[in-house]
Amino acid sequence: MTTTTPAPPAPAAAQSARPAYKVTGRRVLRSEWAKLWSLRSTWITLGLGLVLLVAIGLIAAAQYHSRITSGERMDRDFAQATAVSLSLFGITFAQLALGVLGVLVTAGEYSTGMIRSTLAGVPRRLPVLWSKAVVYGLVALVVALVGVFVTFVFDSGILSDTHAAMTLSGTGVVRSLLGAGLYLGLVGVLGVALGAVLRSVAGGIAVLVGVLMLIPGLISLLPTSWQGDISPYLPSNAGQSMFALTHDSTTLSPTAGLLVFLGWTVLALAAAAYRLKRTDA
């Protein structure tokens, strides 16, 4: 009795049986989404940013109401506050939390060496940067919008019996709250870009803090005539114009502020794209 051994499959047939994987923009986005939420720092920092935004806004409204009802004297700026400005009192601190997480999204991969695996999977490189910016920018935007609207709703109740009281139907209220959320979302994208440019967590955070908080203070040391030409176009001042209820000759309009801040963000992303494309990880 003779037996026959089946011939092994042809190499071409075996190769055709394997699924064909292709790098697409959607898959890169899904990958960055998964990486973002797999980090404990994401949950902690987003939660911290939300808490700072809401808690400081509520504290500011409570302090204002307490001083008004007790007849305590207030400084001029605080006395002219509105429900919107008090609700957005925590933006200065929330922008640091959201911006720092943006830096970690990109620079964190360089510090751990994971960026090499990421770029090996996406050889064209730039889709990685765009996906990180889009994914984290949208997450920061949603968190910021939730924070500002929730804070305003509670502050409206606290301030209902004061002249600072406002409602969502008030002139410019929704525009200011949306502008604040958009500003914080763009701060997150700016952090992503700085992290990709500097490839250092410490360096990215230092530059972010300097751009948003230190440089405006240094500009005040310049001659007054120079301040008026430079100050409105700084990133932080342009961002504040996006959500300010009132404007004067020394500040930009909301649309102009948005365009200026977008310009700074696009410039940072362009620098990040250039370095990512031209230099090794």
pLDDT tens profile 41-100: 899 999 999 999 999 999 999 998 888 887 777 777 677 889 999 999 999 999 999 999
pLDDT at 1: 46
Round to whole Å and give the CA distance between 67 and 241.
Answer: 28
Comparing CA positions, the residue from 241, 238, 243, 141 lying closest to residue 186 is: 141
Which contiguous run of DSSP H or E holds residue 133?
A: helix 126-158
pLDDT at 10: 53
What's 180's DSSP letter?
A: H
pLDDT category of residue 220 using cuts at 50, 70 and 90: confident
Comparing CA positions, the residue from 218, 239, 230, 52 lying closest to residue 151 is: 52
- HSE-up of residue 136 (Cα within 13 Å, Cβ side): 34
* pLDDT over 50 at 258, yes or no: yes
Report whether 77 contacts 67 (CB < 8 A): no
Round to whole Å and give the CA distance between 29 and 106.
Answer: 14
Tell me the pLDDT tens digit for each residue of 99-133: 999 999 999 998 888 888 888 888 888 999 999 99
If you search the block for the tokens 């604040």, which residue do you land on?
180
pLDDT at 14: 47
Q: How much of the chain, in percent, has pLDDT values that exceed 70?
A: 92
Higher pLDDT, 170 or 149: 149
Report whether 107 contacts 201 (CB < 8 A): yes
Tell me the pLDDT tens digit for each residue of 152-191: 999 999 998 888 889 999 889 999 999 999 999 999 999 9
Round to whole Å and give the CA distance between 45 and 252.
Answer: 31
* pLDDT over 60 at 193, yes or no: yes
